[in-house]
Structure 1
Amino acid sequence: MYTVSTQSINVVKNGNITTPLGFSAGGIHCGIKHKRLDLGWIYSEVPAAAAGVYTLNQFQAPPLKVTKESIAVKNTLQAVLVNSGVANACTGDQGLTDAYEMRQQFADELGVLEEDVAVASTGVIGVPLPMEKIKWGINQYGDKKTQDPSRFEKAILTTDTCIKNIAVQLVIDGKKISIGGVAKGSGMIHPNMATMLAFVTTDANVNPISLSNALKSVTDRTYNMITVDGDCSTNDMVLVLANGKAENNELSESHPQWKQFVKALEMVSQSLAKQIARDGEGATKLVEVHVKGAATEKGARQIAKTIISSNLVKTAIYGSDPNWGRIVCAIGYAEQPIQPDKVKVAIGNISVVENGLPMPFDEDEGTKYLEQENIQIHVDLQQGDAQATAWGCDLTYDYVKINASYRT
């Protein structure tokens, strides 16, 4: 994990994916959904170095296959087209044909090569794309009223209750570098990856292979450390586009400010991941689990993710019940070697377990702490120097209500 200072990285007020130079974005209602925006796009004035990470679900939706092919041609992209409402997953040969057609139609509209375009879809599984509606929407690209990044942010949402965005800036080689990000995700969140889509833009000049390496390492510490409900989607995707408009010297692992760039990319990704976790379907609280003192970072990640994924832990937090036994139980079944008689657990600043044994504490104080919107759980394994953080949310009655009637 990088220990680079974040003091020189500034969050941009009202920043978004068009904060970096040379990017535009927009969205439209094409009729997939009843009323809401449902087709969005990102466009770069010039081809951009591109990198992606994708769901590990074996039922990978056709848009992922098409986007992988686009990036593989020359590790660049110039545009991204996203629809919501229909996932185009488990749709067979027709789904793949439709994904290719989405790509070709948008490429023709922009006047670029089809391999310069990525496509993504999110929504109900097993339903064919309404291609005539999507084609109509693509044809509206030239309408200035559709060109607004906030329209893109809304067009990619499904059960989300809010948009999720951020932008940061830093100076590299004397040039101002901007990184912007937007994401969607609310339910079926358990990366590797989640029902989540995330798109990151930057005007930095970055070597494509280095960009891919950076995205993979950052994903392990951010998007892959969130959970809402334990379900891993068919359509998860994170894309990063770097168009070089800032005109810095090419960034790669050998650049003296490489770690600073990666830290900025991680800041954007962590913010988006936390926003997704907080907006979990029916959620009322954001939960952070910090694990330290682990023998390995992999072990710390596994234990943190196991705690945050526990339905018993999540429901206890919803009920503001400081039931530390559920936390200890999750640590024990995380399939990582621990020494139980060394484990420490705290809920917020309240120590509840010391060296594997319960500590006396004020239950009312614990309940009052858990009534807050932002909850932290701290675990110290006292076995080494590795650490990790995972993010999730409480599990509420509303989660069941939302998902019991998702298609109706």
Structure 2
Amino acid sequence: MSTLQRDPDDQVRVLDEEGRVLEDATVPDLDEEVLVGMYRDMRLARHFDQRAVSLQRQGRMGTYPPLSGQEGAQIASATALAEEDWMVPSYREHGASYVRGLSLPQTLRYWMGDERGNKLDELNIFTVAVPIATQVLHATGLAWASKLKGNDEAFLCYFGDGATSEGDFHEGLNFAGVFDVPAVFFCNNNQWAISVPRERQTASATIAQKAHAYGFEGVQVDGMDPLAVYQVTRDALEKARTPDEGELRPTLIEAVQYRFGAHTTADDPSIYREDEEVERWRRKDPIPRLESYLYERGILDDDRIDAIVTSVEEEVADAIETAEEFERPAPETIFDNVYAEMPRRLREQRRELEQLRERHGDEELLE
């Protein structure tokens, strides 16, 4: 990882909390279009998140996992992907998926209970993983298969700090190190796995240092510093594709950040964390940090920011309207795509549901 190789206890940062470049920091070489695009995508992800939570509260959408606070890590890391690379998400990567080409109406459809929103053909995005850490094994297997086929592509796998307590995490990373697969494991350490704090997940000083047990590099980065996240992820992806002699392809990135809202809309974070903690982390908000950096360099001005805000609000409003115009799926589709061949017990349950629909109709059945 060239200039970014460092002890995992040494957190990589480029910008301070006010958006100023830190002394001795290396700023990634990005043109204005990419920087403004990252800023706009972060603003869009934040606004989309706010509207999605509101939709759920109004009963227009099912349980939804908010991402506010994690825009910097999501947008910057996804921007670092090459076209041929793959993204393996958990369930909170709405912003990262948007960067890779997944439309907002598709994301909304999925959380409205329509599995067709999880069709990600030709986007090089693996399907959404709600079970904790299962996607780590999938990413490792995909990366190993790609290596065996001689493909030139990397696999970026997202998961939370809570996932590092699961056996799948350790099995996946151990296998990745042994078979030297082209994978980057991206831990969104947002400090809370639902109501369990980070300090109850591990006694390790950092999550990044866990990579040492598997024989490859771990890097801790300020996850609310978009420039640092981009740089670390870009270098890790390059190493995954074409490592230097003696290097192993995998990297574990720990992006230290915070989720401002609830774990999901079924959660009440006020029960287990203090307001003072939330406000302290809000001072690290990635959106104003990048905005200040771009403003000071004359890349953004008030008029351009206003235009971005307006376009973001219009795009999200249009996405909601589009998503709600789709015909809702029939209830029995919940049985589809669970198994390659549907077992007898599910076939029986599906027939029972179809009979109930015939007797009572969709509206009464849903009530």
Q: TM-score range by the shorter chain?
A: under 0.3
More strand by share: 1
**As a proportion of its length, which structure holds more helix?**
2
Kindly indicate whether structure 1 or structure 2 has the higher relative contact order, using CA contacts under 8 Å at least 6 residues apart: 2
TM-score, with length taken from structure 1: 0.21
